[in-house]
Amino acid sequence: MKIFNIESLYAGYDKTPVLKEITTSIKEGDFTGIIGSNGAGKSTFLKTLCCLLQPISGKIEFLGKPLFDYESSNLARQMAMVPQFVENILPFHVNKFVGTGRFPFQNFWDNESKEDKEIVHNSLVTTRTLHLKDRLLTELSGGELQLVCIARALAQSKKLILFDEPISNLDINHTIQIMDLLHELNSNGATILTVLHNINIASDYCSNIMALKNGTIFFEGIPDNCVTGDSISSLFNKDCSVKKNPVTGRPYIFPHPGFTKNLRSN
Amino acid sequence: MKKKYKYILLAILGGLIIISSLSFGSIFISPQDMISFINGSGELNELQIILSLRIPRLVMTLIVGASLAVSGVLFQAILKNPLADPFTIGVSSGASLGACFGIIFYMSDLFILLGAFVGSICASSFVYLISKLRRFGSSFLILSGIALGFIFWSTVLLLFALSPAQQVHKALLWLMGDLSIARYSMLWRAVPFSLFVVGLSCIYHRHLNIIAFGDEFAHTLGVTQRDIRNLFWIASILASVSVALAGIIGFVGLIIPHIVRVLFGSDHKRIIILSAISGAIFLSLCDTIGRSIASPYEIPIGVITGFFGGIFFLILMMNKGVSE
Amino acid sequence: MRKFIKYIKEFLFNPMTTLIPLFFMIIFFPEIETDTISSSGSIEKIVSLSPAITRQIIDLDAEHLLVGVTAYHPPLTRKIDIVGTLVLPNIEKIVLLKPNIVLLSEEDNKVQFNEMLNSTNIRSHTFGRNDSFESICKYYLELATLIDKTSLAKSKLKTYSKTLRAPPKTTKKMIIALFVSNKPLIGASNKSYIGKIISHAGAINCLGLLNRPYPIISMEHLVMLNPDIIISILYHGNVKPVPFNTILKEFPELTVMKRKSIYIMPSDYGCSYTPQYYVKAYNLIVRILEKEIKKRNEKKI
C-alpha cells in the first residue's frame, strides 16, 4: 500500500525550487535511505513530506488523500520526525520529553493517561533508554540524546517515522545501536525514511535507496541493484569502487583518495 | 530541597510579604490593628482609610506582577531565548509612545491608559506582521522589536523636546512605573480580565513545553503556527494590560521565569502558575519598599525592580558561567 | 456541522478577536458616580497641593491653617509637613493629616487623584486654570471665601489693582523676548502665564505666536528676531546660570547688546499664579518698558 504518492513535485524555501520534478512513492514497510551530496535537497524532501514546507507545485498524497488537506494534529498522530538537531536543549526530564510525543493524542484538559504512560515506558524500553528515565536532557551524551529523541518519535507514531541524518555525529557503537533499532522497528511493521550520509550503512540496512542529485531523483531501487561503482561515482562526481560486504552481502563503496591516483595509474 | 518544602516556603514568604505590604507605608499598621478594623469599630478611623487605600493597591500590584511574569514565561518559550522580556518585543516602547502622547496633550487618565494599551498592541502587531513576511522565527522577532523600540523611543524623546517641563516630569514618572492609581472601580474589571488571560495561557502548558524545543519540532507534533501566534497575542495582551495600568515595570518578566525554572524545573505545567505567584509577590515586595523607604516621596517601582532585577540577573549570569 | 464548530472554536480562541475587544468593553464600562462631599463645617486644616495656592494662603494671613504642602513650597515661617511632590502627592500622608479640605489647581490635571480623595471622604476643591489677571483674582476671591477671609481679600485686591501701573504710551510697541532658561534657550509664548503678562503690559512678545507655552528656541532664531528687550528668569538652584551678556557676546550688533537692555526677573515672579505676584511681575515689565522707551527717545534726540 502506498503511503506517500508524489508527482511532479517542486519544492523549496521561498520561491526558488530546490526539488525539481520529483515523482516517486513510498510503500508501507519500506526502509528507505535517501542519499546524495550536501544541498541536493534531501532535508528539503523530508520537510516537505512532513508538511513543514509548502510545495511550489506538484502533488503529494498521503494515504490516498492530498497531504495538505490533513489537519496538523491528525498528521502528527500518524507520522513522526526526528530532526537533525534539537534546536534548544532544555533541562527537561527524559520521561517528560518522551511524553511530549503523546501530545497529538491528548486534549487540553487531559492529564497523562495510563495508556500514555505505558506507551512512553515501552518506547524507552525499545530504545534501551529506560535507565535514563529520570535524567535531564542536558546531562545526556550525543548518542543517548539521539536515542531519547527516537523514543519520543516512537511514542508519537509506531507506523511511520522520518529521520534527518540520525547518525551523522555518533560513534560506531551508537551508530550500530541506532541502525539496529531502526531495523528492528522496520521488521515490526514501521515504515522508515532516513536521510543518510553514510552510503555503506544505507546499503546494509535499507530495503530501498533513493539518490538525489541537484534536486532530482538520480536513481532509486534496492541497494543490490543500484549501488554500483558507476552510479555512485556519477552521483558524487568522485571515483569509487564497489565490493560486496563479506558479512551482509550488500554492496559497499570505496571512494578513491587522491593520493592513490599514482598507485592506480601504475 | 524537596519540592514540597519549596512550595511551603513560597507560601510562607508570600503571606509575609503580603501582610507587610499592607503594614508598611507612610505609617506602620500592625497586623493586630488590621484585625480590629475587620471586626469593625463604629466610625471611620484614618488608619482604616489608609488600609482601604492599600488594599486596592496591593491587589493591582499582585495582578500586574503576575501578568508580567506570565508574559515573560510565554515570550521566553516562543522566542526560545532566555533573555526575552515582554518588553524586548517592542511592547514597552509602543506603550511609552501611546502614554506619553496622552500625558503631553493633557488627556484624562483614562485616555492615557488607553493610549498605552493601543500603543503596545500596535507595536506588537507591527512586529508580528513583519514577521509574517518571513518565517515566524525567534531572532527575527527580537531584532524587529529592538528596531521598533528605537523608532518609538526617538518619537517619545521628540515629544519631550517639544513639551512643557511639568508634563515631561509626569511622563517620566509614568515611564518609571506608577501603581498609585489603583482604585476599586478599575480593579474589579482588570482583575478578572487578567486572571482570565493567565488562565488561558495555563491551558497551553503542553504547547509551551513543545514550542520551547524548536518551531519545526513543534510543527511535527501538531503545534501549528496558529497556536504559536495565539500565544504571542496572549503574551502581548498580558504585557499591554500591565503597562496600561501601571507604566513600564521592567525585569519582572525577565527574572521571575528564570528563578522559577532554577527552583522548580522547566515544566511549563508548573512554571506558569508559579511564575504568576512569584511575580505577584516580588512586585508587591518592590512596591512596599518603594513606598516606605522615602516617605512621603515614592520611589517609582520601575527603579526598584531595575535594581533588584539587575543584581539578580548578574548573579544568575555568574552562576551560569560557573556551571557551564 | 463539525467544521462549523471548528470555526467557532478557532474564532473564540483567537485572542485578537476576543480578548482585545473585551478589554475595550471593560474599560469603557460606565463607572459608578461617586457623590462629591458636601461642604460643611469650618476650615481649620488645609493641605495645599500647589505652590501658588500656598502663596495665596500666606498672602491672606492664613498660614496657620496649613498642615500640608508640596515639596517645592515658598518660604514658610514654620515647619509644615510635606505631602509629596506636585506630580505625585502621597495620599496616605494626606489622610493622616486629617485635613478639612485639600486644594488643587486644574493646571495639575489630577482628576483621578480627586476621585481617590473622594473615596477617602476628604473634601477637595479644584481651582481653574490661571488664564488672565481676572481669573487669578477670581480664584483668589474663591479661596478667600472658603477660609472666611473675603473682606481681607477684597481689600488686598483693591490695593493690588491700584498699584498696577498704566502701560506706557508709545507709538511703536517694544518687542520683548522672555526666557525661562538660558541653556537651552527656552522662551515663553503667549500661551504661558508670563507671556500673557507681557501683552497685558503693552509690549509685543516676539515668541508669542508659537504653539508651545515654553518653546525651545535656537540661537539663530533669536538673532533673527532681534528683540528690543530680553528678560531672563532665573529659576531655582544655586548654580549660576550663564548670563545673556556672555551668551550673546558674539553678536554685538544686536539691539539688546547695543542698548544694554537685558534684564533679570526673580523666579517667583514667573511662576506664582497669585494676584500679588502678577502685579509685581506686571509692574516690573512696565518699569522696564518705561526705561527702554526713555532710552529710545533719548537716542532719537
The average pLDDT across A235-245 equals 86
> Residue B276 pLDDT > 90, yes or no?
yes
pLDDT for B6 equals 86
Q: Please indicate, yes or no, whether residues C150 and C221 belong to a single structural domain of this protein.
A: no
> Residue C150 pLDDT > 60, yes or no?
yes
Interchain contact B27–C (C-beta under 8 A): yes
> Residue B275 pLDDT > 80, yes or no?
yes
The percent helix, strand, coil of chain A (3-state, each to 5) is 40, 25, 35
CB B206 within 8 A of CB A76: no
**∠ at Cα B173 (C136, B284), nearest 5°?**
130
pLDDT for B115 equals 83
Share of chain A above pLDDT 70, in %: 97
Average confidence score pLDDT of chain C: 81
Share of chain B above pLDDT 70, in %: 90
Q: How confident is the model at residue B324 (pLDDT cuts 50, 70, 90)?
A: very low
pTM: 0.82
Mutate to test the interface with B, among A62, A74, A100, A139 (most CBs of B within 10 A): A100
CB contact under 8 A, B297 and C84: yes
Average confidence score pLDDT of chain A: 86
Label residues B206-243 b or e (16+ Cβ within 10 Å = b). Answer: bbbbbbbbbbbbbbbbbbeeebbbbbbbbbbbbbbbbb
Q: Please indicate, yes or no, whether residues C198 and C121 belong to a single structural domain of this protein.
A: no
The average pLDDT across A88-99 equals 86
SS3 C242: coil
- The total domain count for chain C is 2
Average confidence score pLDDT of chain B: 82
Domain A2-79+160-224: which CATH class?
alpha beta
The average pLDDT across C96-125 equals 79
Question: Which B residues, 159 through 178, put their C-beta within 8 Å of a C-beta on chain C?
Answer: 161-166, 169-170, 173, 178
- Provide the residue type at B139 as one letter: S
**How far is C74 from chain B, CA to nearest CA, in Å?**
18
Q: Please indicate, yes or no, whether residues C95 and C205 belong to a single structural domain of this protein.
A: no
* Beta strand C262-266 pairing with A2-11: unpaired
> Residue C252 pLDDT > 50, yes or no?
yes
CB B18 within 8 A of CB B58: yes
The average pLDDT across A164-187 equals 89
The beta-carbon neighbor of B237 closest among C19, C85, C116 is: C19
Q: Please indicate, yes or no, whether residues C142 and C190 belong to a single structural domain of this protein.
A: no
pLDDT for B283 equals 93
Mutate to test the interface with C, among B120, B166, B292 (most CBs of C within 10 A): B166
> Residue C238 pLDDT > 60, yes or no?
no
Q: Does C4 fall in a domain?
A: no
First to last CA, chain C: 101
Q: Does C37 fall in a domain?
A: no
> Residue B302 pLDDT > 50, yes or no?
yes
Q: Which of C163, C187, C214 is the last residue of a domain?
A: C163
> Residue C158 pLDDT > 80, yes or no?
yes
- With CA atoms as reference, report the closest residue to B187 among B271, B64, B27: B64
The average pLDDT across C258-268 equals 85
pLDDT for C297 equals 82
- Provide the domain limits for residue C261: 175-300
Sorted by sequence, the CB contacts under 8 Å of residue A115 that are 6+ apart come out as: none
> Which residue has 517645592 as its cell numbers?
C72
The average pLDDT across B181-189 equals 66
Taken in order of first residue, the domains within chain B and their CATH numbers are 3-323 (1.10.3470.10)
**∠ at Cα C101 (C93, C97), nearest 5°?**
25
Q: Please indicate, yes or no, whether residues C241 and C147 belong to a single structural domain of this protein.
A: no
Most confident of A129-143, B59-73, C40-54, C269-283: B59-73
Domain with CATH 3.40.50.300 in chain A: 2-79+160-224
The average pLDDT across A256-260 equals 81
Q: How confident is the model at residue A70 (pLDDT cuts 50, 70, 90)?
A: confident
> Which residue has 504710551 as its cell numbers?
C169
- What is the domain-level CATH number for residue C222? 3.40.50.1980
CB B98 within 8 A of CB B152: no
pLDDT in tens, C51-72: 888 988 888 888 888 999 988 8
> Residue C34 pLDDT > 60, yes or no?
no
pLDDT in tens, B132-149: 666 556 677 778 788 888
Which residues of chain A have a CB within 8 Å of the CB of B214?
83, 86-88
Separation CA A226–CA A104 (nearest Å): 38
